[in-house]
Chain A
Amino acid sequence: MNEELIISGRENLMVDPQLHIWHWPIPLYLFLGGLAAGVLFFAALYYLMGKEEQYRTAVRRVPFIAPIALVLGLAALFYDLNHKAFFWQLYTTIRLESPMSWGAWTLLVITTASFIWCALHIREFFPKWDWKYGWLKELEAFFNRHKKPLAWVMLIFAIITGVYTGILLSAFNARPLWNTSVLGPLFLASGLSAGAAAIVLSSKNREERLLFTKIDLIILGTELFLIVHMFMGFLASTQVQIEAAGLFLGGPYTMVFWIFVVILGIIIPGVLDLMELRGRHIPALIPGVLVLMGSFAFRFVFVFAGQVSRWLY
């Protein structure tokens, strides 16, 4: 049989023998960003639908996860930069061709909005909270008057944040595994399911828990559909994408992907959600934690496997 052997004299750190320029902070950030996008999306959505009182946990309490997740995520991103002292260069320009550029601006908006939203609801946790300074009180009154536009900003930018983490990867044509447009919706779905799971985990109201269990189930179904769709696309594409899909179909990432992402992260919590909705009592902790872990594992597997996939020449 004809064989080809390629020997390269190149041995650049973080590039050879295979790319490993992005380490654990990147998938960690992608998970935290997705989770924040999910909780803020539901908070804004149910506030705008006028159901603030009915779904109090979702609108007022769970959003406190968002600023914490975003700040931790931003710290992780900063930690992974190689030229840290120049990070501010991100905010000297907007380059629409670069998802990382408009993503950085989106993060700025969504992080600010999440802080304001939490400040407006701080009395949920500290009933006697006092802003002390007059100008802070005026600021609070101002945003309380304009809570609707704030919620709209949050809703729209939550969607952009959720999608952009996927687009960021799908824009790299050099890495065949990432180079699929399904990745945007798939990352959004994964972030939304993590957000819904966080609400189910935190809520003490049965009606609210059931609603978000139902939402979680629908999103998990969508995720499964998108994953199947992604593999169909890969297998019908060029040789490099067939090989990229092979990383999950018998290749080194098969076990971790199917066990941790698909079975433990989507199918089992989906079945448990369904059982809960059918009237069986399932402790909310189990599906909730599984969904969060699945969403977390999904980003890790994708970021690392994507860097292994390549064009061979």
Chain B
Amino acid sequence: MRYAMAVDTRKCVGCSDCVVACQTENNVPIGFCRDWVVEVVDGTYPQLEIELRSERCNHCDNAPCVRCCPTGASHIVEGGVVMVKPNKCIGCGACIASCPYDARFPHPKGYVDKCTFCIHRVREGMKPACVAVCPTKCMYFGDLDDPNSDVSVVLKKRKYKTLIPEAGTKPQLYFLI
């Protein structure tokens, strides 16, 4: 099993509904976010191109945050989902420094917090909050090992990219282009 997510940069309108849904679902403290929207403007005026991306933890196959964690608080659960055990985390910040995507942040309570792919919802057969709430239905979630999952189907049909693959982290967040 390998959970992954695909985000359609051509359908996303950058409304940040995914961000609010995540904050509500996961009780993310005020001022912080586990997912966020990035807008990239390319070109020379008036020939401009905009790409919108809803970003979050890439749940890397080769996760530097899990490798550098001194206590084993950062760990991998089913489907390759990277998680943090708050009662094992000492808040040293090594994982935060190790992430090229800066997807982690220190929770005000001290431990490190991040996207969980809403594993608590996925275990009950639901989609992650950000995917479920998206008004343009631009996000796809599922198991890459299942050829009929939403994410497998869309990745077969469309061209995609991942973020900084050259960092060697094998990210599992795909952006349809």
On A, residues with C-beta under 8 Å from B are: 1-16, 19, 21-22, 80-87, 89-90, 92-93, 95, 97-101, 103-104, 171-175, 238, 307, 310-311, 313
Contact between chains at A82 and B93 (CB < 8 Å): yes
Bound state CA distance, A98 and B105, in angstroms? 19
How many pairs of residues, A versus B, come closer than 8 Å at their CB atoms?
156
Contact between chains at A2 and B44 (CB < 8 Å): yes
Q: Which residues of A contact B100 (CB under 8 A)?
A: 173-174, 310-311
- Stretch of B5-13, B84-92, B126-134, B152-160 with 4 or more beta carbons under 8 angstroms from chain A: B84-92
B102 to chain A, nearest CB (A): 5
Contact between chains at B38 and A8 (CB < 8 Å): yes
Contact between chains at A14 and B105 (CB < 8 Å): yes
A169 to chain B, nearest CB (A): 9
What are the 8 A-B residue pairs with the smallest beta carbon separation, nearest first? Answer: A82-B91, A83-B91, A83-B110, A10-B36, A12-B105, A101-B70, A174-B100, A100-B70
11 A–B contacts from the bound complex (CB under 8 Å): A9-B38, A14-B96, A19-B96, A81-B110, A83-B109, A89-B73, A98-B68, A100-B92, A100-B94, A173-B100, A310-B100
Contact between chains at A13 and B105 (CB < 8 Å): yes
**Residues B5-30 near A (CB distance < 8 A):** 16, 19
8 Å CB contact of B102 from A19, A86, A172: A19
Contact between chains at A16 and B102 (CB < 8 Å): yes
**Binary A-proximity of B54-96 (CB < 8 A = 1, otherwise 0):** 0100000000100111111100000000000011111111101
Bound state CA distance, A92 and B36, in angstroms? 35
B94 to chain A, nearest CB (A): 5
Bound state CA distance, A37 and B167, in angstroms? 33
8 Å CB contact of A83 from B36, B111, B166, B168: B111
Q: A9-B19, A87-B90, A100-B94 are in contact. Are A173 and B64 (CB under 8 A)?
A: yes
Bound state CA distance, A3 and B43, in angstroms? 5
Q: A1-B44, A15-B102, A99-B68 are in contact. Are A84 and B33 (CB under 8 A)?
A: no
Bound state CA distance, A200 and B163, in angstroms? 52
**B164 contacts the other chain (Cβ, under 8 Å)?**
yes
Contact between chains at B70 and A171 (CB < 8 Å): no
Q: Which residues of A contact B68 (CB under 8 A)?
A: 97-100, 171-172
Contact between chains at A95 and B70 (CB < 8 Å): yes
Bound state CA distance, A35 and B14, in angstroms? 51
Closest to A10 in B: B36
On B, residues with C-beta under 8 Å from A are: 16, 19, 31-33, 36-44, 55, 64, 67-73, 86-94, 96-100, 102, 104-106, 109-112, 163-164, 166-168
Contact between chains at B89 and A15 (CB < 8 Å): no
Q: Which residues of B contact A87 (CB under 8 A)?
A: 90
A138 to chain B, nearest CB (A): 36
Bound state CA distance, A8 and B55, in angstroms? 10
Q: A13-B31, A307-B97 are in contact. Are A82 and B110 (CB under 8 A)?
A: yes
8 Å CB contact of B43 from A2, A22, A171: A2
B23 to chain A, nearest CB (A): 12
Q: A3-B44, A6-B38, A21-B97 are in contact. Are A173 and B19 (CB under 8 A)?
A: no
Contact between chains at B90 and A90 (CB < 8 Å): yes
Further 20 A-B residue pairs, CB within 8 A, beyond A8-B39, A84-B91: A2-B44, A3-B43, A6-B38, A9-B36, A13-B31, A14-B93, A14-B96, A15-B102, A19-B96, A21-B97, A81-B110, A83-B89, A83-B109, A83-B110, A84-B90, A85-B110, A97-B68, A173-B168, A174-B64, A238-B166
Bound state CA distance, A311 and B104, in angstroms? 15
B41 to chain A, nearest CB (A): 4
8 Å CB contact of A81 from B36, B55, B91: B91
